[in-house]
């Protein structure tokens, strides 16, 4: 738990649903971080029934701000859910990606197009 907290502080991750952080060595010059995103979902967003069940994980690769001048990639395993009633599947979401996109739009894009 303490190691998770220290890694979250270093990577500036504020989402409490991101757990099991493991920092792997550099691969091809980039720092690889493994993590899992999961939280309880009971109601289907499509049909409104309480019939959501866990259906595995989907790994997404998110490029996060550099650490010690190294490209840092967060390999995030997002929990997948499926509705037993309507068959719709959904993934857990995090504000981490939205914050990175917001940073790129406000800081990096003006520098590129100036």
- Distance between CA 57 and CA 61 in Å, rounded? 13
Coil, strand, or helix at residue 28? coil
pLDDT score for 107:
60
- The distance from CA 111 to its chain's CA centroid, rounded to whole angstroms, is 27
H/E stretch holding 95: helix 95-103
Q: How many domains does the chain have?
A: 1
Coil, strand, or helix at residue 84? coil
Condensed to tens digits (0 to 9), the pLDDT of residues 94-105 reads 877 666 566 566
Q: For residue 104, what are the domain limits? A: 2-112
Question: Is pLDDT at 106 greater than 70 in this prediction?
Answer: no
Closest of 18, 15, 30 to residue 73, by C-alpha = 30
Average pLDDT, the chain: 81
- Distance between CA 56 and CA 11 in Å, rounded? 26
């Amino acid at each position: 738990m303490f190691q998770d907290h220290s890694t979250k502080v270093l990577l500036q991750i504020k989402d409490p649903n991101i757990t099991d952080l493991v920092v792997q060595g550099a691969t091809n010059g980039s720092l690889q971080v493994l993590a899992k995103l999961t939280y309880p979902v009971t109601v289907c967003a499509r049909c409104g029934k309480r019939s959501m069940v866990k259906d595995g994980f989907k790994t997404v690769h998110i490029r996060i701000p550099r650490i010690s001048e190294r490209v840092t990639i967060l390999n995030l395993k997002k929990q997948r859910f499926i509705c037993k009633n309507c068959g719709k599947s959904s993934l857990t979401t995090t504000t981490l990606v939205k914050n990175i996109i917001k940073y790129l739009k406000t800081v990096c894009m003006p520098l590129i197009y100036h």
